[in-house]
Amino acid sequence: MLMTLFLIAVVVFVVAYKTYGAYQKKIYELDDTRETPAQCMFDGMDYCPAHPAVLLGHHFSSIAGAGPIVGPIAASAMFGWLPAYIWVLVGSVFFGGVHDMGAVVASIRHRGLSIGEVVSQWIGKKGKRLFLCFTWLALTLVIAVFLELAAQTFAADPAVAFSGILYIFLAMIFGVAIYRYGVSLKVASVIMVPIILGAVFFGSYNPWVQSAFKMGIDTWRWILVVYIFAASVLPVWLLLQPRDYLASYLLYFSLFIGAVGMLFGSQFDVKLPAFTGFTNAGGEFLWPLLFVTVACGAISGFHALVGSGTTAKQLRKESDAVLIGYGSMLTEGLVAVIAIGTIMIAGGMLKGGPTVVYGAGLGKFSALIGIDPRVGTSLGLLALNSFILTSLDTATRLARYQLQEFFDMKLDRYTATAIGVAVAMGLIFWKTGNKPVWLLIWPVFGASNQLVAALSLMTVGVWVMKGLKKSANFVMIPMVFMLVTTVAALFLLIKANLTNPIICGISVLLLVLAVLLVKETWSVLSKKDQTPTTPA
């Protein structure tokens, strides 16, 4: 069963990349003779042309986060593995991939600025303000949650902490070697990648590592605060880009182990039912809950912020948008399929949640190629931590971009970063009762993230229709579905939490911002012609 599901997914994604990716390339008229912002606006800080392999590593590891693992596992536990599997395939091809590639292309055609700037030029400055408020709030929540999750994984496994800290320093050496001393990318990769992978094996058994890196969660929180601040303000080639590139090899390696497990794990019994019903144990319906729970495994608004934030500023040529934008989402869909495979053999949610399910599954899969399950589990957790950490550092830089654009670039990068990090730390340390605020508002994240995706699709669609003068059905049909689904999810969330003023208040705020932005968009689409305030 695992082999069949995996092979179907691979075939679907490969065919989609070759056909639907080419279709979108034609729609956008990608032209490698046209200079990208990374070339014509090069500044050595944010705008910096990157080798496709390096940028793919940065983009893929940044967009993945914990979403394609946690979401599909949670959804499978609620409704069975089949609905989650189908949505991952359909969503990745026709929703998430379209969304991600559209965001990258729209950004490079608008000076490498965020989707908020595309909103400004084609929908209006009021729309831009609304969108940036929406996305900045979502990003500060991402920073808070991912910082907490990263600190938890570091505190739980010293081997993971050792490896994670090691490749932060190696990344800076890597960046200097490549960009300042002209060392070949292949040579640097051959040296650095084995060191990072070997660190997991070394850390799993070395007593010094187990002792020296066993620190409390508060200590790791503040160490990570220093790291994400540096990752936001330092030149992108020095820390963020090379760290994410090196981290991507951990993700590729875990993807390899997952593929081996799915293809050759016939001895693993599938214990999870394919379908358990249209309602879960709590009486919640499959729609819209399944779609906002799977989240990043099929489509995620966070991807548009990454694509139009850091990625578009590093794209070396336009045609790379197919690989980076569309290809990365399809690869993430494959990660989600493997995550579904781990809960299929687990039979349900294990104590400790989706991360434990995934780690245990990767441990079993790794045994098939002779790796000690203990080390395999550490590799799985390190890969998961890499997903989280790369999303964390990228989210911090993105929040800085969003805030600077909101204030028309009059805010310096240090102040903009400090504000975002301070708000995120406030969400972690501010408690209501015995629970931190971030934990109370986390249920809003799934719906708000998908709502960002719907609004990003809407923005790309307006640009395609008004700017490129072409049909945008391939963008607008997914947009309508995601908009209706996420608005319904927010209404249900409000209904279920009427006694919780924090969740209700934030949900209502997000709904109001979304409605106002849709209203602005409708007024633009109702006009016969629209000229951007700045040439695209």
pLDDT of residue 532: 52
**Whole-number CA gyration radius for the chain:** 22
pLDDT in tens, 349-400: 887 788 788 888 988 998 898 888 877 777 777 777 777 888 888 889 989 9
pLDDT in tens, 278-316: 998 888 899 999 999 998 899 999 899 999 988 999 999
Which of 8-12, 172-176, 528-532 is predicted with the least confidence, judged by mean pLDDT? 528-532
Whether the predicted pLDDT of 271 surpasses 90: yes
DSSP 222: H
Whether the predicted pLDDT of 533 surpasses 50: no
Main-chain dihedrals φ then ψ at residue 324, nearest 5 degrees: -70, -45
Beta bridge partners of 431: 436
Mean pLDDT on 206-229: 89
pLDDT in tens, 318-360: 999 999 999 999 999 999 999 999 999 999 888 778 878 888 8
Nearest to 3 by CA among 258, 224, 234, 222: 258
Whether the predicted pLDDT of 164 surpasses 90: no
**Polymer length in residues for the chain:** 536
Main-chain dihedrals φ then ψ at residue 436, nearest 5 degrees: -70, 155
Which of 162-176, 434-448, 455-469 is predicted with the least confidence, judged by mean pLDDT? 434-448
Token digits for 343? 């809960």
Question: Do 438 and 145 touch, CB atoms closer than 8 A?
Answer: yes
pLDDT of residue 200: 67
Mean pLDDT on 404-418: 92
Token digits for 199? 């660190």
Higher pLDDT pick, 167 / 221: 221
pLDDT of residue 536: 45
Token digits for 130? 């609304």
Whether the predicted pLDDT of 412 surpasses 70: yes
CA distance 51 to 320: 10
Mean pLDDT on 419-448: 82
**Percent of the chain residues topping a pLDDT of 90:** 44
pLDDT of residue 529: 58
In terms of DSSP H, where are the helices of 213-327?
217-233, 240-264, 286-294, 301-306, 320-321
> Predicted confidence band at 534 (pLDDT cuts at 50, 70, 90)?
very low
Look over the chain and give the mean of its residue pLDDT values, rounded to a whole number. Answer: 88
Whether the predicted pLDDT of 429 surpasses 80: yes
Pairing of strands 435-436, 431-432: antiparallel
Q: What is the largest CA-CA distance in the chain?
A: 70
Token digits for 131? 């969108």
Whether the predicted pLDDT of 535 surpasses 70: no
The four Cα atoms 465, 469, 474, 476 give a dihedral, to 10 degrees, of: 10
Q: Which residue has tokens 């790791």?
A: 220
Mean pLDDT on 511-521: 85
Higher pLDDT pick, 50 / 442: 50
Q: How far is CA 521 from CA 125, 300, 308, 460, 530, in A?
A: 12, 21, 20, 11, 11
CA distance 532 to 271: 55
CA distance 288 to 320: 34
Mean pLDDT on 117-134: 85
